Chain A
Amino acid sequence: MDIFIFEAAGHYIGIEAKYIYRIADNVMIVPVPLVPACYEGLIYYRGDLFDVIDMGRLMENETSTLHDDPYIILLKWDTGKLGLIPDRIVGMKWVEGNGGTLTVFNKKGDTANLMTPDEIWNKLAGLAYGT
């Protein structure tokens, strides 16, 4: 399967490519109150509303480093939609099977954690809202 890999707060994260709807840039994110720190806001993209999440903050509570012109990875799957702000997009990689981690092509031989959109969503849903 094709895996889309990005970096956030020092982690490499892989998401199966079939969940990637678009990579958006130059889209204004509208801030929203009463949400966790990792929740950056909302975007309305081609008729759909996306919650936009800073993945660095979600993973390690660290701010993304590319806030000047952030790319937003837009995910769409059968039960939801989500926009993710990475620190850096690494690229696509083909892997066999459904392994939990995979090696990223760099000198250090880093590994990426495979995540499903539902796993990211559940992590988000578990945070405190409205406080």
Chain B
Amino acid sequence: MELDKYQKIFIQESSKYLDELDTVLIRVEKNLQDQQLWGDIHGKIHSVKGMARALSMTDLATFCHAMESWCKSFQDGTKIPDERIVQLLFDGTDLLKAFVAGKGKISEPEDLERLRSISEDLAKAPEDLVDRAESEIRPSAAPGKIDRIRVDYALIESLLARSQEIMLLEKTLPPLTQDQISAGLGTWISHYISMLKGLYFQLAQLRLMPVQDFGELFRKTIRDLAKSYNRDVTLEIVGGEIEVDIGLMDRLREPFMHLLRNAVAHGIEPPDEREKSGKTREGKIVLEAERRGDQLILTISDDGRGLDREAISAYLKDKMGMSHEEMNALSNEKLLNIICRPDFSSVGETTQLAGRGIGMNVIAQSIEYLGGNMKIQSEPSKGIRFIISLPLSLSIIYAVLFRLGNYILAIPTSHVQAIENEDLKSSETVEQFCDLRSLLRMDAEGSGKGHIIRLRQSAKPHVPPPDNKGLGVAADAIIGNMPLMAIPLGELLAKTGLFAGVGIMENGDISLILDLEKIQTAVA
């Protein structure tokens, strides 16, 4: 029983180190002489070795030791690493994962053969290593089911403290006479419910995963695909701090895997071809997340060759019998959306990695199933952008809450430039003033007094505003900057046309989250 417990800890800890190892190996592949990175790799392999030894997993520890010896020589500069060595270490890491999954043993014949081959290579001096066979390229699968997320220690502490406080409430229930029961018990129950709401609010945060973590799941896969297709590709993640429900992210794994595979297989050109056309040798795939109203916008773009318009034209002519005139009459959007038809394929032949019939239509259907939609933008030789809009089923946002008349309203903090405690007329920094009272059909009383919330000009929080001027919104009183659980508007409130969602505060109170795009449109 004890051994099982330690093996479970070993699997959890080693898996974490090995996932991190993939990330550092991707970095060192681009900076082969970075001794600090080699030190980092050395440290992670050493940690896995130490745990394996403690559990008497001799084979695993020996294998780690061989990898570790190489890393040490690159760390202290006594040997010079090259790409073949990094590939060998990637293969070694994959094998270690199989070791860990098998609790220190490998039983698959295929893995045994790889173990023998990699062990033989590791026994050589780095300079004696020959190129590994091309046949070892394997198709990359989508990352495994997302069943674990990182949780801030502070959140766990806070949850425990709140749970304890709720348990202690039992002791604070005062002895009540029959007459007092109604009022006294009511107050106590209100307090109890308020605590429970706070607990629920924090528990809900456990379901959230930063987009950065989601993107990182694909980094190794993209690297492997790029190697397979002789491409040089990097992944950039923008807006990675946005947190999204893990359930939604998990359902997006397969569609994203297909989009990324297509980007590497069909989009990004080989380095020489890119250089000839004036591009950098390294292609770039960008995963960008943005919250717009009650929608999560995820964009995957690449700077490759763009959509194969000839293949689209051939499809329209051969399969749909369209003439050139009819094709020319199609809008760009409709033309590009042709790739989402079930029988469309731009790949002439099926390879091990692409063209297997898992087409764009499956991706589009998956997005639709989640209540979202996908737009495609592409320009020849400039690349392609898939813009996916999804409903935010659950998310925690930070927002500035303020009171205006009887209403409690919220503006996402990322959209707030500043809050000024001054009269509108004296403010020279506000270019436009939004009279919310008028927009919300409120009485004019109090207009122009109190605070002005100055908004960023760009809806994207990571894009700095071009100047200090922007749109100003008047508030009677500022409640504070606090986390809100954002939930979508119901059908009725959506008809009002000015709100992006409903925010639930930690104490269970409700606020209305303003849709700033609609507000700006209304002002304009």
Contacts and interface: CB of A to CB of B under 8 A. Distances in A.
A33 B496 contact: yes
Given A31-B407, A33-B441, A51 B496 contact: no
A49 B487 CA distance: 9
B186 A33 contact: no
A98 interface: no
Given A125-B491, A130-B497, A131-B441, A44 B407 contact: no
Contact of B495 (A28, A47, A81, A130): A130
B508 A32 contact: no
B508 A35 contact: no
Contacts of A80: 490-491
A35 B499 CA distance: 12
Contacts of A44: 502, 504, 508-510
A30 B510 contact: yes
A42 B440 contact: no
Interface string A107-131: 0000000000000000011000111
Contacts of B487: 49
A130 B496 contact: yes
A42 B502 contact: yes
A35 B492 contact: yes
Nearest to A45: B508
A113 B407 CA distance: 35
B297 interface: no
Interface in B319-336: none
Q: Which among A28, A30, A43 has the greatest number of chain B C-beta atoms within 10 A?
A: A30
Given A42-B510, A47-B200, A34 B498 contact: yes
B156 interface: no
Interface in A18-35: 26, 28, 30-35
* 3 smallest beta-carbon distances between A and B, as pairs: A129-B495, A33-B440, A34-B496
A30 B408 contact: yes
A12 interface: no
A71 interface: no
Nearest to B200: A47
A6 interface: no
Given A26-B186, A39-B492, A129-B492, A32 B512 contact: yes
B493 interface: yes
B107 interface: no
A51 B491 CA distance: 10
A28 B408 CA distance: 13
Interface in B424-449: 440-442
Chain B, interface SS category: mixed
A76 to B, nearest CB: 13
B493 A35 contact: yes
Contacts of A31: 406-407
A33 B405 CA distance: 10
Interface residues on B, range: 20 to 34
A32 B407 contact: yes
B496 A129 contact: yes
Contacts of A51: 490, 492-493
Contacts of B406: 31
29 contacts: A26-B186, A30-B511, A31-B406, A31-B407, A32-B493, A32-B496, A32-B512, A33-B440, A33-B442, A34-B440, A34-B441, A34-B497, A35-B492, A35-B493, A42-B493, A42-B502, A44-B502, A44-B504, A44-B508, A44-B509, A49-B487, A49-B502, A49-B510, A51-B493, A124-B492, A125-B492, A129-B493, A130-B497, A131-B441
A35 B498 CA distance: 11
B509 A49 contact: no
Contacts of A130: 495-498
Q: Which among A32, A81, A125 has the greatest number of chain B C-beta atoms within 10 A?
A: A32
Contacts of B491: 80, 125
B62 to A, nearest CB: 53
Q: Which among B408, B441, B492, B509 has the greatest number of chain A C-beta atoms within 10 A?
A: B492
A26 B200 CA distance: 20
Nearest to A26: B186
Contacts of A42: 493, 502, 510
B208 to A, nearest CB: 16
Interface in B473-511: 487, 490-493, 495-498, 502, 504, 508-511
A47 B200 CA distance: 8
Given A49-B510, A124-B492, 4 more contacts: A28-B509, A31-B406, A34-B498, A51-B492
Contacts of B440: 33-34
B184 to A, nearest CB: 14
Contacts of A28: 509
A130 B489 CA distance: 14
B194 to A, nearest CB: 12
B493 A33 contact: no
Contacts of B510: 30, 42-44, 49
B115 to A, nearest CB: 51
Nearest to B497: A130
A57 B210 CA distance: 45
Contacts of A34: 440-441, 496-498
Contacts of A33: 407, 440-442, 496
B523 to A, nearest CB: 15
A79 B227 CA distance: 49
Interface in B159-176: none
A51 to B, nearest CB: 5
A96 B440 CA distance: 47
A50 B498 CA distance: 19
